[in-house]
Structures are given as C-alpha cells and as structure tokens.
Structure 1
Amino acid sequence: MSVKDDLTSVQRSLDELNRALGRLEQQLGREPLDVRRVRTDADHLRESVALLRGAQPAESPRPAIVPVPIPEAPYDASLWRDADDEGLGARDRRAP
C-alpha cells in the first residue's frame, strides 16, 4: 500500500469512529465526560491525519525509461591508441 492509501484508510476509520460515537451518545441520552474525551481525541487524530496528508509530496509519475541504443559495430581502434591497460601500464614500459 502507498502512503496515500494508508492515510485514506485511517481517514475512513476515523469517520467510522465518529459515527459510532454519535450512536453511543444517542444511546446514553446525554454526553458523558468519557465520550466527550474520546470525541476530543478523535478530533485531534483527524487534525493530525490532515497534517500528514498535507505534508506528503505530490506523487509524480515515474519518468519513462528510454532505451539507449548500443551499436553492434566494433569500436574504432584509434579510440584506445594512447590508453593504458589497467594494471599492466603502458605498452612501451614494464609493469611495476
């Protein structure tokens, strides 16, 4: 799951908690201190999730992978004329 999906899932859970608290308040007939405390905590969680959602960078699409063509023709030998063989040194000198 992506972060966006997880935040959406948390938001849905908080919405369900809010609905359940509303039903609980109706059943109890009044708003007891404990229910008020839970509702306040749920509101704080809702604000925190909103902050997390706002802090997430916008998802940008991945750049397309562009294949780099590699020619089948052999390289020009003149490209390697003055090159040293790695670990062997220059052709006209002895290796260390």
Structure 2
Amino acid sequence: MSPQSSLSDDLTAAQRCLDELTRTVDRLERQVGTGLEIRRVRSDADHLRESLALLRAASPATGSASTVRPEMVTIPDKPYDHGLWSDVDDEGVGAKDRHAP
C-alpha cells in the first residue's frame, strides 16, 4: 500500500469517526438538552469537522491545489526608476530638506 493511499484511507476513517461523533452528540443532546456543556461539545465537534476538511484539502492524496506550484515571477536586476520614489520620504530618515528635532 502506498503512503498516499494510506493517507487517504486514514482521512476517510477519521471522517467516519467524526460522523459517528456527530450522531452521538445528537443523541446526547436529545437526552440532556441544549445546555452549555452540550453546546461546547457540539462546537468542538464542528471545529474538528472544519479542521479535517482543511487537512483533506491540503493533503496531496486528494489532489489538492496545494501540490501545484505558484507561478514564478522574474525580478529584473536593473535598478528601479528613481522617478517612482520622488514623492516619498526616506523611511526612518525624513525628507532631504528637513532634519529631526
């Protein structure tokens, strides 16, 4: 079994466990009501569901976009046009015709 197949299997197993947890929380809520404690458990289960979805999206086993490299941008070696900076002060130094107090 390849590592990617194992990862996909593990993600699927985790999803099944999370689905069972959600069903169990539903049953508990019917038994104990909608108090603070059950709302916290439901919130935690929802966070797990979101985290698992993010993990699945980032997983190379699912063919996600994270395996695609971003486009390279070439930055030229020639100096920048100094006219681009004519209306700004030198950072931390101030304007050329002024001095610090």
Which bracket does the TM-score occupy, shorter chain normalised? 0.5 to 0.7
Say whether residues 1:53 and 2:51 are aligned partners.
no
- Once the two structures are superposed, the pairs formed by residues 7-86 of structure 1 within 5 Å of their partners are 7-28=11-32, 30-58=33-61
After superposition, give the CA deviation of every residue in 1:47-69 in whole Å (9 maximum; x if it has no partner): 01001101112568xxxxxxxxx
CA distance, structure 2, for counterparts of residue 59 and residue 22 of structure 1:
29
Larger gyration radius, structure 1 or structure 2? 1
CA distance, structure 2, for counterparts of residue 25 and residue 58 of structure 1:
35
Give structure 2 stretches of 5+ with no counterpart.
64-101
What letter is aligned with 2:50? E
Aligned-residue Cα RMSD (Å) equals: 1.8
TM-score, reference length from structure 1: 0.56
Paired residues, number: 59
- Classify 1:24/1:40 alpha carbon distance in 2 versus 1 (closer, same or farther; 3 Å): same
Kindly report structure 1 stretches of 4+ aligned residues shifted beyond 6 Å.
none
CA distance, structure 1, for counterparts of residue 62 and residue 16 of structure 2:
21
CA distance, structure 2, for counterparts of residue 59 and residue 47 of structure 1:
16
Quote the residue 1:5 is aligned against.
9
- Classify 1:33/1:48 alpha carbon distance in 2 versus 1 (closer, same or farther; 3 Å): same
TM-score, reference length from structure 2: 0.53
After superposition, give the CA deviation of every residue in 1:69-88 in whole Å (9 maximum; x if it has no partner): xxxxxxxxxxxxxxxxxxxx
Give structure 1 stretches of 5+ with no counterpart.
61-96
Query: Percent same amino acid among aligned pairs?
Result: 61
Higher helix share: 2
After superposition, give the CA deviation of every residue in 1:9-66 in whole Å (9 maximum; x if it has no partner): 11111100100011111112x2111111011011001001001101112568xxxxxx
